[in-house]
Amino acid sequence: MRTQRRGTGSRAPLVLVLPAALGLLFLVLPLAGLLLRVPWTDLPSRLTEPSVLAALRLSLLTATAATAVCAALGVPLAWLLARVEFRGRKLVRALVTVPLVLPPVVGGVALLLVFGRRGLIGEWLDRAFGITLPFTTAGVIVAEAFVAMPFLVIAVEGALRGADTRYEEAAATLGASRWTTFRRVTLPLVAPGVAAGAVLCWARALGEFGATITFAGNFPGRTQTMPLAVYLALENDLDAALVLSLILLVVSVVILTSLRDRWIATP
């Protein structure tokens, strides 16, 4: 007797299609509203305005610098979590992911308490080296790196756990040191995961708002990134806010589209 398999090709029930369609509309309509209100005819001139260019330039600079910081610190941290057994590893992994769920403004307050002029580390930096992070461009990089690093660590740790360890074992058998094995074998193996994590990290840093405005302020040309410029422009120049929002939207769509296949396997 032949039994008919009812799989994903069967007709979906209306009780599921209706809320699914409403959910899609709920997510898409605000984006459509943004696209409909963008001043397309004035877009070229708007994109070349000094304030827009300054915010865009600063955002690209700080997001790239924050991603470099996250890569330098996050890749070794991901390797430690994926390859080394130690007591408290679950706690460390939980602490790494805290910025994902922590309200960004709270993250900015925490950064102030640590790196502010009277903070745990900031007071010593100011007294010993004359380094002040809050309300500076460097402070923007620190705030963005704080909220974006978990994305890179999670992506790289996942890539490390999925990598074939036999190549690393073969390199160790041939006498390669741990550093040589990591540099010449492990990193090339997980390079796609590192790249994906870096892109996600960069995108998160580019869109950061709460921690940045709390820790670094909103000073044009120095700490005013695109999200902060959008917030300020909403009060007196809606068209500029729409143009900046469009740039952030395009970046987000391009990145998510390019990385979609890493998370969703299509048959």
Task: Give tens-digit pLDDT for 76-117.
Answer: 999 999 888 889 889 999 999 999 999 999 999 999 999 988
Residue 112 lies in a domain: yes
Residues 6+ apart with CB under 8 A from 49: 240
pLDDT tens profile 170-203? 888 888 888 888 888 888 888 888 998 999 899 9
> Is 5 part of any domain?
no
CB 240 within 8 A of CB 46: yes
CATH number of the domain to which 179 belongs? 1.10.3720.10
The count of other CB atoms within 10 Å of the CB of residue 232 is 19
Euclidean distance between CA atoms 157 and 163, whole angstroms: 10
Residue 134, pLDDT above cutoff 80: yes
Give 39-87 pLDDT, tens digit per residue.
888 888 888 888 888 988 999 999 999 999 999 999 999 999 988 888 9
CA distance 206 to 251: 9
CA–CA separation, 216 and 157 (whole Å): 30
Q: Is residue 191 part of a domain?
A: yes
Number of domains within the chain: 1
| Residue 134: strand, helix, or coil | coil
254 in a domain, yes or no? no
Residue 177 lies in domain:
64-220
pLDDT digits (tens, 9 = 90+) for 202-250: 999 999 999 999 999 999 889 999 999 998 888 888 888 888 888 888 8
**Structural domain includes residue 266:** no
Radius of gyration of the chain (CA): 23
Helix (H) or strand (E) holding 153: helix 137-162
Q: Report if residue 39 sits inside a domain.
A: no
What amino acid occupies position 63?
A
250 domain-assigned: no
Asked if residue 147 belongs to a domain, the reply is yes
- Say how far apart CA 108 and CA 102 lie, in whole Å: 10
pLDDT of res. 50 = 86
